[in-house]
Amino acid sequence: MSSNSPTLAFAIACFSVIFYFAGLEVLSFIPIAIVGFLFVVAMFAPPEQHPVSGRVAAFMALNLALLPIYLPIVQEVRYDQLEARRAAQTADMYRTIDEAMERLVPLIDEYYERHGRYPELDGETVLPYADAQGRIQEGTSMEDLRAPRDPFHPARNPMRWVAVRDRGVLLASVGQSGVKELGLPGVPMDGPPAHPLARFAQTGDDPRWKIYDPTNGALGLGDVVRYHGRVPWEEAMEPLFNAWDLAHRRSEFRPEDVYRPRHRAPGDERQSVRDAAEAVRLLGQEEYLAALALASRAHRLRPPQTIWRDEEYTVDLTRGMALYHLAAYREAADALIDYVAVVPNDAQAHYYLGAALHRGGDRTSALVHLSAAAQIDPGAGIRHTAQQHLTIAQGGQMPPYPAPAGIDRGQ
């Protein structure tokens, strides 16, 4: 064997490691095979001058080349060790949550039997809710019905409690790290017929990506979540999960774009631009829940307004239109107000904002935006409809605004 063979073996072994860390694991087997051949040669035909050192060098080169095989095995072993250690550390915390759920389940079921919906809680307070007519109703308290203390949080704050209206209730902890990862919606503003999952889509987070597996000892990021309801979790959230599946297919989430934007490929648009553009297309295809989810993610990831692209200006319009068609009128009005504050001359946005406000119970503000829609652009197709509906609304009646198509389609 040539005295230069160990050096050559080391050089080829380096390519194995480079391919592995570059994400080209399949190509790593080419240098592994070459180095393996050189190793066999070194064992049976070592350099004449330094046979022992030649064999040692070939052995070390082979081990370097085999790193792409060793590393995943070592990582898996280490992961299992951390998983077992974390499971032991958090066993008492999970037991505390299980005990709390055992106490709460009968109370949750009793509340549902009384009121036909699940309670929305903030600590010890049962929150108000909007009924089918849009009126705000006081939540009815029950003795001992309160969110338990969070066993994972140092301050032992109440766990977050969110109702999926008439489907079930989520009880969420911020997890051992104390960092809120799971996006949960705020106080409900729209009652039926608003889509019960519109609030969840508006967080811009796929909940399946942000929940701990309680069997693995809370290893990783995410929230610890427990669910109880009249239907299983997967069934209760199925429309939202389907919407996110569609959204992910249309605009793949690239973490490196969000967390390491300098590494974005030249000419590649940032995540919020891609999300915003695809959300508009989904809206045009009447995929309202998916459009809302994707536009809400774009809203969350959007940079400062001074560097927005054209697509990013449409985010709040898309959110507002999707929410309107999901019959979440108050939430739609909030999104459209944000949009017209930036793009004040959009007649269609003013019209739908007026419709959302009126259907949400704010007739006075609705008249302002219906009037704007009728005057901003004399050539706009919406102008005539806006003027007709303004006249009807001024007469104290509810105009025949467009129906919420997302509810009609049963999304």
> Does the pLDDT of residue 3 top 60, yes or no?
no
Give the whole-angstrom CA distance, residue 347 versus residue 65: 65
**Distance from C-alpha of 26 to C-alpha of 12, rounded to nearest angstrom:** 15
Q: Is the pLDDT of residue 49 over 70?
A: no
Neighbours of 315 (CB within 10 A): 29
Single-letter amino acid code for the residue at 60: M
pLDDT of residue 212: 63
pLDDT tens string 251-303: 999 877 776 665 566 567 899 999 999 999 999 999 999 999 999 999 999 99
**pLDDT of res. 16:** 80
127: Cβ contacts below 8 Å, ≥ 6 apart: 119, 120, 121, 139, 187, 188
Task: Band the pLDDT of 54: cuts 50, 70, 90.
Answer: low
- Which residue type sits at 126? V
DSSP 222-272: SBEEEEEESS-HHHHTHHHHHHHHHHHHHS---HHHHH-GGGSPTTPPPHH
Instruction: Give me the pLDDT at residue 219, please.
Output: 45
Average pLDDT of span 10-36: 76
Predicted confidence (pLDDT) at residue 218 exceeds the cutoff of 50: no
- State mean pLDDT over 104-120: 93
Burial class, 49, CB count within 10 angstroms (exposed 0-12 / middle 13-18 / buried 19+): exposed
Closest to 326 (Cα-Cα) out of 169, 189, 163, 137: 189
* Alpha carbons 329 and 337: distance in angstroms, whole number: 12
Of 280 and 69, more confident: 280
| H/E segment holding residue 292 | helix 288-301
pLDDT greater than 90 at residue 363 = yes
Contact 320, 336 (CB under 8 A): yes
Given a cut of 80, is residue 229 above it in pLDDT?
A: yes
135 vs 278: CA distance, rounded Å? 35
Helices vs. strands in the chain: H and E counts, helices first: 17, 7
- Residue 215 DSSP code: G
Sign of the torsion formed by the C-alpha atoms of 92, 98, 99 and 104: positive
Q: Is the pLDDT of residue 32 over 90?
A: no
233-253: average pLDDT = 95
224 exposure class (CB count in 10 Å sphere: 0-12, 13-18, 19+): buried
Return d(Cα 290, Cα 1) in angstroms, integer: 64
pLDDT at position 111 is 93
pTM: 0.79
Q: Is 93's pLDDT higher than 60?
A: yes
SS3 380: coil
What is the DSSP-derived secondary structure letter of residue 48?
S
